[in-house]
Amino acid sequence: MSTAQQPAFWVGHTPIFGDLILSPMDGYSDLPFRSLARQLGSAMSYTEFVNAMDVVQRFHYTERRLTYTEDEHPVVFQLFDDDPQRILQAALKVRKLEPDIIDVNMGCPAKSVSNRGAGSGLLRTPEKVAEIFSLLTAELDIPITGKIRLGWDEDSLNYLDIARIIEDNGGAMLAVHGRTKQQAYKGTANWDAIAEVKQTVSIPVIGNGDVRTVTDIQRIKDHTGCDGVMIARAAIGNPWIFARQDRHEVTDEQVRAMMLQHLELMLDFYGPEKGLIFFRKHTTRYISPYRFNKEQRQKLMTREKPEEFLELLDEIVLTQHAVI
């Protein structure tokens, strides 16, 4: 974690010590990965997004996603839904687990989410955004924040209107991914739009999109004036970016140590079978800079026992040198 004495910014009454944040990512920002990112300097812990409908109807199904450790504070629970009353019900329910902040997902472009009017689908109904923030900020005693995209598509870029609505209805912070729903993760993030949002509202603004290197961190801050920087895909396989270290600066020994620590956390959290299976998607990113053939990769990715995995890891990967 950051050792800075002065907060980089505040979310309501919650001080944030640091300007880099691991973005909430479905299937990735679980407790093990969040823990590593926090150790290296991520200033906040966002959970994977949670369906408000699941919270209300079958809370046990969501509990694992909302599990966190004390050293992760400040912890942000991220919810999604298209129904203002149901998202309020869910927020009141998860409040009992004592998060520091509750965040409303208005950025997920997945069809299963956005086509029902949730995630980035909420951008098409500004009146619902207003109602959600009005309800949540009136009924909860912790900051309510939002994560948005620029709009549904290039013909409906309503990010400034949405930003004003969020602030006017009590929102305490806003994270902006500089792409539309239609773009998903393609094309180039529009940092000019993030700068416009920063100039329009007085609450903290977090910039998100196309931050892949340490140099990019300062570039997006200089370009947009944002209070913090959210990093998503570039952190997978390179959590060292939160320590402001690019992957080519990371030693083979650091890679091995991090993989061992990450795998141990996954095994503890998910159990020996699922932990190893779920770790495979991280493995591919950790080892991507190394040269090895298809057969070696296949062997590594199909090991069923952690000890076999670790033995093969040392044998075919970390006896080489990264070729970044």
State the DSSP H helix or E strand holding residue 15, giving kind and residue range, or none if neither.
strand 14-16
Residue 282, pLDDT above cutoff 80: yes
Q: Give yes or no for residue 319 having a pLDDT over 80.
A: no
Q: Would you state the pLDDT for residue 77?
A: 98
Whether residue 1 has pLDDT greater than 50: no
The residue type found at 142 is I
Q: What pLDDT was estimated at residue 245?
A: 97
User: What's this model's pTM, rounded to 2 decimal places?
Assistant: 0.93
What's the pLDDT band for 173 if we cut at 50, 70, 90? very high
- Residue 2 is predicted with a pLDDT of 46
Q: Are 108 and 23 in contact (CB under 8 A)?
A: no
Q: What is the pLDDT of residue 322?
A: 62
The catalytic site residues sit at 108
What is the model's pLDDT at position 324? 56
CA separation (Å) from 262 to 30, 174, 278?
A: 11, 30, 11
**In whole angstroms, what is the distance from residue 319 CA to residue 313 CA?**
9
Q: Which domains does the chain have, with CATH numbers?
A: 9-247 (3.20.20.70), 251-316 (1.10.1200)
- Torsional sign, CA 174, 180, 182, 186: negative
What's the N-to-C CA distance of the chain in angstroms? 27
Q: Which residues are paired to 106 by β-bridges?
A: 148
- Peptide bond between residue 74 and the one before it cis (omega within 30 degrees of 0): yes
pLDDT at 305: 87
Q: Beta-carbon neighbour count of residue 277 at 10 Å?
A: 14
- The predicted pLDDT at position 292 comes to 77
Burial group, residue 223, by CB count within 10 angstroms (0-12, 13-18, 19+): middle
Distance between CA 287 and CA 293 in Å, rounded? 12
Say how far apart CA 116 and CA 112 lie, in whole Å.
7
| Digit-coded pLDDT (tens) for 241-256 | 999 999 999 998 899 8
Whether 251 contacts 321, CB under 8 Å: no
